[in-house]
Copies of this chain bind each other. A is one copy, B any other.
């Protein structure tokens, strides 16, 4: 059953829960989930409301305009989603296959509410692994000189496929600020518990430091490297017996689970981003 999902952020004041829920009720909407959070420091009110489209008095096409007016009247911003619209996701990958195959497997299992029409890689080595899935595999090499041109080709590819979201599934390249400006909707999996071990080779540095646990962090990408809003984090225990290769091996499991969890939250529209952080209504 299709549901309508409203995400709204506005300045906090009394009566907001009542106003929003009454608006839905008077239009005959049956609320399935109503989640709210007040950030008292920031004086912001966050709301996520999900109700059945079936029986709702406002026609599907007209809801967006009404929501827009509602948000304006509250001095806030709203996003509207329908649960039967599966976003088109491009997965970026380098040589490591574990996150990519994990995501494609979950899509096949109907576990993730997304379509994956496009894979972008700076290597050609995972092409064959993707054969069984109906997906275009674009091999676009990238190096410091070619970066500008390569990113232009990638952006064209995203436009051509109407991509809504990019997932960096162990794509070992740093996207330029220009790229992020042109396409800002990106989720990355980083192989450390941020903010520890930002940047390259976190497992090597974790091993060197002698930590007893390693981590993985799924986050939205921003200009500042590995500093975007965190969606989910997980850790694995390690011991002195573990060499760097063992950290990498153990890390693969938390990387793909953390990325899949974060994507699940995102695709169910349970994530709200504000002030460089996230609220997860799950």
Contacts and interface: CB of A to CB of B under 8 A. Distances in A.
A18 B22 contact: yes
Interface string A24-56: 111011111111111010000000000000000
B196 A212 contact: no
Interface residues of A, number: 67
Contact of A210 (B17, B211, B230): B230
Contacts of A35: 35
Contact of A213 (B111, B233, B260, B277): B233
Q: How many copies does the complex hold?
A: 4
A213 B131 CA distance: 37
Interface string A244-282: 000001001100010010000000000000001111101
A94 B238 CA distance: 32
Contact of A38 (B32, B109, B280): B32
State the main secondary structure of chain A at its contact with B.
mixed
A235 B257 contact: no
A19 B18 CA distance: 8
23 contacts: A18-B21, A31-B36, A35-B35, A40-B243, A97-B108, A101-B101, A111-B252, A128-B132, A129-B132, A131-B132, A193-B193, A193-B196, A195-B197, A195-B209, A195-B211, A196-B196, A209-B277, A211-B233, A212-B230, A213-B233, A213-B235, A235-B235, A240-B277
